[in-house]
Structure 1
Amino acid sequence: MSFPTAPDEDARLAALYELALLDTPEEPAFDRVTRLVTKLLNVPISTVTLVDAQRQWFKSSIGVEAQETSRGVAFCAYTILSSEPFVVEDASQDARFSQNPLVTAPEGIRFYVGIPLRSLQGFALGSLCALDTKPRAVSADELATLQDLAAIATEEVHLRERVVLEKKNAQAYQQQLNELHRSMECQIERRTNELNLVIESAYDAYISIDAHGVVLDWNRAAEVMFGWPRKEALARTITELIFPTGLPPRNNRMTITSTARRRDDTELPVEIRIKALMIDGRERRSLFIHDITERQQLERLRDQQAREDVLTKLPNRRALDERLPESMARTRRTQQPLALLFMDLDGFKAINDTHGHAMGDELLRVITKRLVQAVRETDYVARWAGDEFVLLLEGSEPTVIEQLANKLIQVVQEPMTAGKAALNVSVSIGIALYLPASAETANELLKRADVAMYEAKRSGKAQVRIAQPVDRTC
């Protein structure tokens, strides 16, 4: 099959070959990115692809057995020509790909989205892509996530380019040093060793200090990362510049996670590797520092998504399982009662059956908004499952709780208009009170509220029932 090429194809291939990434072993930096793509976008296939003259080669892949394919069948051959993300929602309906053997094969490719991976000079060397065997659309959030991950993969590529450039510079510098007087051989060896360490360790910033923490060397990456020009950093102490509380203890076998300070006093999460060496009987320490801001942001994003309901953006069941024991502990400490309201919508299945799940989802979002607006800012509303919600009320008087529950019934019963149809549902609520002296567990408290909710349903729905108190006390 034929494939399109860019006007700068020769220069693009030269940049790719100079990078020397083709036909190299797997690397954790790229494998982590493809794993995150499959998890965050919920796709079975993800690759980091380099596009050669006649083939596409996978530097990292999930869900693909082959190491490479011909360029003629490569979706990525189109991605590298695009300045924007390249999206194919259904390849079987796309004239460019409908006869592609990767599409016509059993369980063939249907969905594809790719982000170009560009060199420091702007050449598209390959792409980060997500694929599925089912047609689908890509949301703005998914596209933003893929672009963030592509930025991480691109930075790894840029790092290799810097290493290649550093090697070239080191070779040229070595040639110059070899022409100098023999009395400078010691200085040549010292400088060469430091450059080799920088290349070998491949961290963004390289800083050399003496036994007293005074800066002896400070590379360009350190200038960019911390805002201190090399001339101003030299001869200052490392604590004065970036580690005001002192340099973390050295560990030659492991990286150290710490917080550094920039020149503008902003903080930067970093990973540090410290290597000690003796030169002319004097101790020197080499610091290799890597900015982990993006990695921590991704970790926080994954943590948030694990505890947030995708549809309603409320805390999910996992988040409630963590919050409820904390609320019960506060109740025991403050001696203030805790109420748990278990709510189940009445008639929701009929809405799904009659108007479709999309309308049912919209109704859940509307009801979520109503519930949140009807309670205090300090109250905790979570989506338990399906059309079930849980509300935690801390420090509320028992006489007020039932009044609030009846108010919630009225709020939920307000019809929602969808086109010409009026959607009507109600809610049955079970209330379980947790008292400071109770020895009840979180699961037992939820069970009591759930049982009370079913009693409300059996009594005619759209009603409130208060669970029987437990006999056990601490």
Structure 2
Amino acid sequence: MEMSASNAQCEQKRLDALARYDILDTPREEAFDRITRLVRRILKVPMATVTFLDGHRQWFKAREGVANCEDERRIAFCDMTIRENAPLIVTDASADPRFASNPLVTGAPHLRFYAGIPLRTSEGQNIGTLCALGTAPRAIDPGEIAILSDLASIVMNELELRLLASTDGLTGALARRAFREEAARALALAQRHRHEVSCIAFDLDHFKTINDTHGHAAGDAVLSGTAATCRNLLRQSDLFGRIGGEEFAVLLPHTGRDAALGVAEKLREAIAAQRFDGTDGPFTATASFGIAAAAPSGDIDALLRAADEALYAAKETGRNRCVVNQTGLSAGASLGRRVLKAGSIVFNGGKSVIDCTVRRLSEQGASLAVTSTAGVPERFKLAIEADAFSRACQIARKAGTEIDVQFAA
């Protein structure tokens, strides 16, 4: 995704604005799903998305009628939308020279109609889009565009309110952003005074099934009840936050790994002992837990990542259990500060380029996100145009769509 120096700086400002909302890769939420359902019903289209674009992809916070949760940015209609200051309307993509050869037109899902409204911050940065999509050509009238624009404003209002909120309205737990900020301060204090600190991440098991079986009101009761149960067992000095749809985190000052495991087991047992009223009578819920202890020089993102890795191990080994991250912080922990930058993986003498998003960056290395690790060589050059940055590097770790690299000396 080559661009001029000035365009690269504008793109970095856009990514900085996107990073402030801390929305990427969060679970689906009813507040946004409701918007895409309205788009489908009002415009009578088969597909609708709330989309955010980072350095290499378009990622769907909400989607209706769309199978994938993300696509490559280079083929995304939304990539053109965020470059405009007005809605992008395509009535027949197969007859539009800008899109006729696009893989999303020539192949699945065979797009023909597209209407995209930029999701614009109060500072004027387009961080994403609200989209209506169809597989047949169609026109759209000014009234329908106005409705889409109003719904896009509602999406942005929701994001802005989250920036202002320090507590989650449903559960009373710290909101995701507030938890990260408070936990970062607590972790820095622990490192300064050399005392132990641990983190617990837990996720309610099969929560979608609860919603589907008993309804969203019952799901909300599980979330609020679980939060209340956990607060009753935690100390006042512990930090408790809701960091995703059904995912929570706890920071435990003055607590080592073994003691944190004991806390997690108490929380797990208390959650499993709860009873809730459902459509077919009382039901129960369980949760899976991951535990990690902080390293002397670790940061909150690395600590959360380590706890999250243990949480997924708990899910993979049967759920309703606690797993401790025995290896300490993951490989990404030493890769510097958390960033959001558009990058390029350059190899084959500069003839081959793969777009990426730089997630962490230090003097020693970086953590990258890509659409696919297929075709990425062991050695390449990482370029960040906005920073006039270019370093030779070698892959240290691959995990899913993430790559950790070490820079050559």
Compute the TM-score of the two structures, normalised by the length of structure 2. 0.40
* Structure with max Cα Rg: 1
Greater percentage in helix: 1
Compute the TM-score of the two structures, normalised by the length of structure 1. 0.35
